[in-house]
Amino acid sequence: MADAATPDRTAETLTFPQGFRWGAATAAFQIEGSTSAGGRGESIWDVFTRTPGLVIDGSNAELAADSYRRYRDDVALLAGLDADDYRFSISWPRVQPGGTGPANEAGLAYYDRLVDELLTAGIAPVPTLYHWDLPQELEAAGGWLNRDTAYRLAEYAGLVVDRLGDRVQRWITLNEPAMTTLQGYALGSQAPGHALMMGSLPTAHHQLLAHGLTVAAIRERGDAEVGITNNHTLMVPASDAPADQFAAGAFDLIYNRIFADPVLTGAYPDLSGFGLEAMPGLEDGDLELIGAPIDFYGINFYNPTLVAAPSEGSEFAAAGLPFEPVEFENVPTTGFDWPIMPETFTELLVSFARDYGDRLPPVVITENGASFPDEVVEETVDGGMRRAVHDERRIDYVDRHITAVRHAIDQGVDVRGYYLWSLTDNFEWAEGYTQRFGLVHIDFETGERTPKDSYAWYRDRIAASRG
């Protein structure tokens, strides 16, 4: 692979603390493909993709990056980066097709092979047990609105840990429960596609209960490390006006603190501003489970959010919500139109260390990256032709955000690792194949993998960080 000729973008030191771990992240439904292979059951995302108009390009994940068949290629790409860790997710319906009952041997055998391949390459597996692919049979029984789903996740987790726990030393329970609640159940923009607004809140509690029960299940089976991954954003008030300041605080509560506070402090924040005395679904003993100590806290970060008081006639005002996300002006954006403001990443991390103090365990950046409209070009190199993707904007985004992490460490935040999203292009949920986040370009018809310039850059950045 030819190196990308990229400039040195930062004057700061590139080195990170000894033991800092580098990696890349993916999710099963987005990369595996083969959605009907090996006895895999149906997930809420299979149903969602079949519903006309819900996926922007009308696509599905049957092929995706074809990693179910080409996982060895992907492990080789990780080895080429000299990555320490690979954060991937385990497909619940591939392991337990209906969400209950015995494990599917073919599903477990696939993850056996993947874990062994990683370890042979010197890469530590960091599996996420739940990354949004709820078995459809459980959704039919109420999904995350049903408290029983939390117990089913812990049961499934036990099956996986029993099989892989002799080789896996770090586990992530859930990925981004906030997005499942807010996008999947409140707004309906993601699977399972419900638009319940504040009626979605029980799904937040049931997911966090599932986290607590799963932590307990893992602890019962050995001394592996365990954590959770939450998606967090820095809330920026649209102005100094009291209404906008209040709006930013309210959105921070519903987006960030409802999902962080119970895990890190064992208590929910005050919900009285939303007319609630307590979190819906809360029962005695739940918070003790949810707030049990964890070994690391995963933070996914992509961009800050500008928040204003709801404008008259908006869907937020109609729903009785005291906030409305609005757009930043004169700020560069990604292909998703997300604002690029890496300094807010430092500010977010510092705020976590300040607000939670010694209750915050070591932090791992479990996702950070950017989508851009990449173009594959054919180039002549040493008399032959090669495919290339010159993704300078992605390199710049990642460079500046890695530097933001370094700044947070310099200010006392205990950050232990950084996983770039994503190793390869993938099926980007409701956006289908229209958004590309990968270090490696995927031809979604053939499965061909073409490392982008950012791949070589990230490899070199990892090497430089180690001093």
Helix (H) or strand (E) segment spanning residue 175: strand 170-175
Residue with tokens 């001394």: 223
Q: Please pick, among 32, 42, 139, 176, the residue that the annotation labels catalytic.
A: 176
- Does 419 appear as a known binding residue? no
Among 275, 244, 274, 271, CA closest to 257: 271
**Catalytic residue check, 367:** yes
Contact 268, 258 (CB under 8 A): yes
In this prediction, residue 12 carries a pLDDT of: 52
Q: Please pick, among 367, 375, 392, 431, the residue that the annotation labels catalytic.
A: 367
Write out the chain's pLDDT in tens, 467 residues. Answer: 333 334 445 545 579 999 999 999 999 999 999 999 999 999 999 999 999 999 999 999 999 999 999 999 999 999 999 999 999 999 999 999 999 999 999 999 999 999 999 999 999 999 999 999 999 999 999 999 999 999 999 999 999 999 999 999 999 999 999 999 999 999 999 999 999 999 999 999 999 999 999 999 999 999 999 999 999 999 999 999 999 999 999 999 999 999 999 999 999 999 998 889 999 999 999 999 999 999 999 999 999 999 999 999 888 898 889 999 999 999 999 999 999 999 999 999 999 999 999 999 999 999 999 999 999 999 877 778 789 999 999 999 999 999 999 999 999 999 999 999 999 999 999 999 999 999 999 999 999 999 999 999 999 999 999 87
In angstroms, the Cα distances linking 222 to 189, 213, 263, 293, 376 are: 38, 15, 21, 15, 46
Contact 119, 81 (CB under 8 A): no
Q: Whole-prediction pTM value? A: 0.96
In this prediction, residue 9 carries a pLDDT of: 53
Partners of 226 in the β-ladder = 171
- Does 428 appear as a known binding residue? yes
Q: Say which DSSP state 271 is in.
A: -
Peptide bond into 322 cis (omega under 30): no
Q: What is the DSSP annotation of 448-459?
A: -EEE-HHHHHHH
Question: What tokens were used for 108?
Answer: 């477990």
Q: Say which DSSP state 359 is in.
A: G
- The residues, any chain, with a CB within 8 Å of residue 283's CB and separated by 6 or more, are none
In this prediction, residue 319 carries a pLDDT of: 85
Partners of 297 in the β-ladder = 228, 363
- Could you report the per-residue pLDDT of 15-38, keeping only the tens digit for each? 999 999 999 999 999 999 999 999
Which domains are seen in the chain, by residue range?
A: 21-465 (3.20.20.80)
In this prediction, residue 467 carries a pLDDT of: 75
Amino acid at 157: A
In this prediction, residue 97 carries a pLDDT of: 98
In this prediction, residue 1 carries a pLDDT of: 34
**Catalytic residue check, 288:** no
Among 220, 246, 217, 251, CA closest to 234: 251
- Does 231 appear as a known binding residue? no
Question: What tokens were used for 438?
Answer: 């990968």
Average pLDDT, the chain: 95
